[in-house]
Structure 1
Amino acid sequence: MQFTNILSLVACLAFTSALPAPSNFYDVTFHGAASAEYTIKVLADGRTINTGNALSISSISSSLDVEKYCTLRTVDYPPTLVEGPSGTWQVGPPQTVLSIACNKPVEPPSPVTVDIEFNGAADAKYSLNVPLDGTVVPTNNELSISTIFTTFAGLPNCNIKYVDFPAALVLISANIWAVGPPQTVLSIQCFA
């Protein structure tokens, strides 16, 4: 019985350590005088992390925008953070940082596909769901296209193969692109 419990515990620990680390962990380095510094890992989910270090801090560096997403608790009063070179903030006045709490919203993943509507004359149209991985999608439609509707801002960077020659895409209103001159689209290929 105890052997089974130990095996279950070991299996559970092995599974837990195999899970990928959350993507919103950031290293935050606190710099003091005379090259003294320490680094802590911060999970940007709003949790308060005690620094456990009495070093008087004069600057902070991180890939996370500390000024925008973090709150520092210090020994005296809230410091002023002045942005320096990329990823660096001066702390004024220099003082001991007792804790840091960061809260950066996790950015949604880029869409895997986009919907694109191809419009011709007299309300004739068809739609395609186009992957953003570079897959060439044939249209299988001979309709002469005069406008394209999509919320995908990267449409001008897509490779669109036309029946005659490359057409010009001109944004004529929100999410609507004019195709000039109008012609049949043979295939489309887009990238995120």
Structure 2
Amino acid sequence: MQYRNIISLAALASTAFAAPAPTTGNIVFKGAANAQYSLTVTLDNVDRPTYNVLSISSVSSDSIDVKAQCTLTAVDRPPVLVEGPKGTWQVGPPQTIKSIKCSPAGSPPASISIEFQGANPSEGAKYTVTVPLNESKVPTNNVLSISTLVSSFGELATKCTFDYVDGMAALSRLNPTTWAVGPPQTIKAVSCKA
């Protein structure tokens, strides 16, 4: 009985001294010719302006996963974040980032990634789009005929809407992260909700 109480007290003490989750993160926004600026963002899922007109081609952070935890709003269209070296993401197309909102790690993601695959993805017939989970329509800007979608977002078929060039298509789940598109066709845009 006393042994169980000691174990319970030890477990309680270890959780009391655990480091709290970070409430902010530092992000570096990089443009051409080594131009850059950094922002400390609060991880509260509130949209905040960047107040900078620099055209951004990559973002990096040592403290947060920008692609998983943040949504960037740009001047032209929602940017695609392509993961590069650890803690770095390429922004496509490069453009001015008007605002950013980030959520704490472990909370529902602010956006998801979808890989659009054509007939020969192993030969490069594929591209990836980052889609915010706020029902914003994101253009794919790609005419590749899509036969397969890949995403870790398990509710892709029910919570995402795709604009197809030839009208409607059916999504058939092949495995937990992969859906077949039938008939294969160009997808013009996508929007998703949480």
Q: What interval of TM-score do these two structures reach, taking the shorter chain for normalisation?
A: 0.3 to 0.5
Q: Could you tell me the TM-score, scaled by structure 2's length?
A: 0.46
Give 1 or 2 for the bigger CA radius of gyration: 1
